[in-house]
Chains A and B, each alone.
Chain A
Amino acid sequence: MSLRSGVATFAGKSSYWFLHTFLHGGSSLPGKITLKLDPQILRSLGAKYDVIVITGTNGKTLTTALTVSVLHEKYPTILTNPTGSNMEQGIVTTFLNAKNPKTGRPLAVLEVDEANVIKVTQYIEPKAFVFTNIFRDQMDRYGEIYTTYQKILDGVALAPNATIIANGDSPIFNSKELPNPIQYYGFDDQPDSDFKAKPNTDGVLCPNCQHILHYHTLTYSNQGKYFCPNCGFKRPELTYRLTQLGTQTPTSSQFDIDGHAFKITVGGTYNIYNALAAYAVGRFMGVTPEQIAHAFTANEQVFGRQEVIDVNGKRVTIILVKNPVGLDQVLHMIGTDPQPFSFVGLLNANYADGIDTSWIWDGDFEQLADSNIPTFITGGERYKDITFRLKVAGVPDDKHIVEPSLEKVVDRIQEVPTDRVYVLATYTAMLQLRKILASKGFIKEGLGV
């Protein structure tokens, strides 16, 4: 380590100690200070580590946590970054906080924002990249899926020897010739047929000849065993295959990968993709399927995002929604609940929610109207938008309570005829709701995602 890097590291570490000790914070400021003193600090900080970079639109956080669990089965020391610290400063802070490893070459598993991949690869050549998926994010005001992927590839271009472990069901990850070794994972549990994705799906053009892709099988959005009837472009051979999909509920999923049975304590097909990605990294790093199965069941806390809150006897599950693909997946997931439930939709349009509410029309709320949900409640600052969305979806007025005030939404939740209640909320609506639940004593803390 150069003198400059040494000084910068010391300054960053001291600032972390100060912030952590006196202000109970400090996730990106130490990184900021260190970067100011030595912009190339990652070169010296990261040199000791084998780095695995996980990037993509959805699923980065859970894939990272699961991958860490899986790799812990074989590797004792793994450095990883906390949620939300996936930009350059947060990553520098993560390295600064690490204790010096005593023996061997430790691993670092890093969740990295798509546009920040290049800020890592400028200084560190990762051992592997994991690409989860690229979807249109309503928060992404300029981004298109192609420009987002290009940003990732700009970073990957600086690390041509790193192995790419990519979601093989996503056509975009097969659209460019790359020098890197590539392994794909995907779903392979259905017999082949021939159809197109539903009209309102993003990214269905063949990257070779710009005809509309067809599918032999499809999981959701534009992901599946795609092929182009015009030029023969098709899904690549999978290295890691989901061979059977078992029972799914909102709190559990059973499935086989490469013939081995797995269970995770979280619902949603999107989370099976996250598990598949973690499995792929584990296998790539020499972890056995038995160890991976153990990691999936032994670390339930990594799925801790969907907590159930007891509101006067109602089992209330709050789920954050932020983009159409995620929304559709959540709607599908709650539909797998074998018990009856009521539905609450809370919509805000502050900056952190996305200021344009148009995206709710890309979500398939129609599937809710077709199920046997006895009560719907809509609220939040943009309650009119979400209310009309449900009306158009076919939710009848006599089952639909419109309640702009979140205080009153909490009262209404206690009156629904079901024990279970699913609350889908945008970011600031969720924070507001949690604050109210905390003030009424239903949860301890007002914050936390």
Chain B
Amino acid sequence: MTYELNVAHLYGDLMNTYGDVGNILALNYYAKQMDVHLNVQVVSLEEDFHAADYDLAFFGGGQDFEQTIVAKDIQTKKAELIKFIESGGPLLAICGGYQLLGHYYIGADGEKLPGIGALDHYTLAQDHNRFIGDIVIKNQETGETYHGFENHQGRTFIGKGERPLGNVVSGKGNNGEDGTEGAIYKNVYCSYFHGPILTRNGDIAKHLLVAALKRKFPNDDFSQQEALPIPATF
């Protein structure tokens, strides 16, 4: 393959609910079609994350208990993660990963747990209720429609610097109130979508890969990669 990208699978051994690893598999699937080889590495507890070592990152959802452990450890990676994000590093964060990039979330026992505040959202809990079911959203800028399955207790409210990943067509979305789902900030894509998101929405995989290629090889022409057709899979 002509190109190589280094992918950090953040806490891949702890944050791995509901088939979220499928996002890595889908990234690989589309990367191959773009003539790109991915080196995927799990970066977990007590391991360093150096922003300069990675071209792309994925951060999945986890069980409540695992997420509380990750919430503590991720503070040690906070500065480098912010550096990665601010310098345009492409990152996909799902569910718990999405929550931990924000200011805080409310854990299963009602405790307020800090995130890393890299993005301007926060997450509240809801009592004895979860948003569970199929969800469809539409991104107003690209006109793309995304399909997923949501399953979350958290209600997330995005901040001023963030745009939603899409507006809810059917389903609940970020919080069941404001009609938004997910968040986009620079090259960071956040969502509550399982399914997993990239297996049903190859366009997002393409956006992430193209952004990573352009950032790593600024002098190369990636118009062919950008033109890769993504047939519907759902």
Binding site for B on A (CB under 8 A): 136, 138, 141-142, 144-146, 196-197, 199-202, 204-205, 210-212, 324, 355-362, 384-385, 388-389, 391-393
Contact = CB atoms under 8 A, between A and B. Distances in A.
B69 A205 contact: yes
B5 interface: no
Contacts of A356: 18, 132, 149, 151, 194
A388 B233 contact: yes
B144 interface: no
Given A324-B19, A358-B195, A388-B234, 7 more contacts: A199-B9, A199-B16, A199-B42, A212-B45, A362-B19, A392-B199, A393-B25
B114 interface: no
A359 B18 contact: yes
Given A136-B17, A196-B13, A205-B14, A211 B199 contact: no
Contacts of B9: 199
Interface string B97-127: 0000000000000000000000000000000
Interface string B123-154: 00000001011000000000000000101000
Contacts of A393: 25
B58 to A, nearest CB: 11
Given A199-B9, A200-B12, A211-B45, A205 B21 contact: no
B88 interface: no
A204 B13 contact: yes
A355 B18 CA distance: 12
A136 B64 CA distance: 13
Interface of B: 9, 12-14, 16-22, 25-26, 28-29, 42, 44-46, 63-66, 69, 130, 132-133, 149, 151, 194-196, 199, 233-234
A361 B199 contact: yes
Contacts of B151: 141, 356
Given A142-B130, A358-B22, A385-B234, A200 B196 contact: no
Nearest to B150: A356
A179 to B, nearest CB: 24
A362 B21 contact: yes
A180 B25 CA distance: 44
25 contacts: A136-B17, A138-B18, A144-B63, A145-B63, A146-B63, A197-B13, A199-B12, A199-B16, A199-B42, A205-B66, A205-B69, A212-B44, A355-B149, A356-B18, A356-B149, A356-B151, A357-B149, A357-B195, A358-B19, A358-B20, A358-B22, A359-B19, A361-B25, A385-B199, A388-B233
A388 B195 CA distance: 12
Contact of A202 (B16, B25, B69): B16
A196 B45 CA distance: 13
The 9 closest A-B pairs by CB, nearest first: A361-B22, A361-B19, A358-B19, A199-B12, A358-B18, A388-B233, A358-B194, A144-B63, A200-B21
Contacts of B199: 361, 385, 388-389, 392
- Residue from the set A136, A201, A210, A389 with the largest chain B CB neighbour count within 10 Å: A210
Contacts of B234: 384-385, 388
A392 B13 contact: no
A7 to B, nearest CB: 37
Contacts of A205: 14, 65-66, 69
A188 B171 CA distance: 49
A145 B65 CA distance: 10
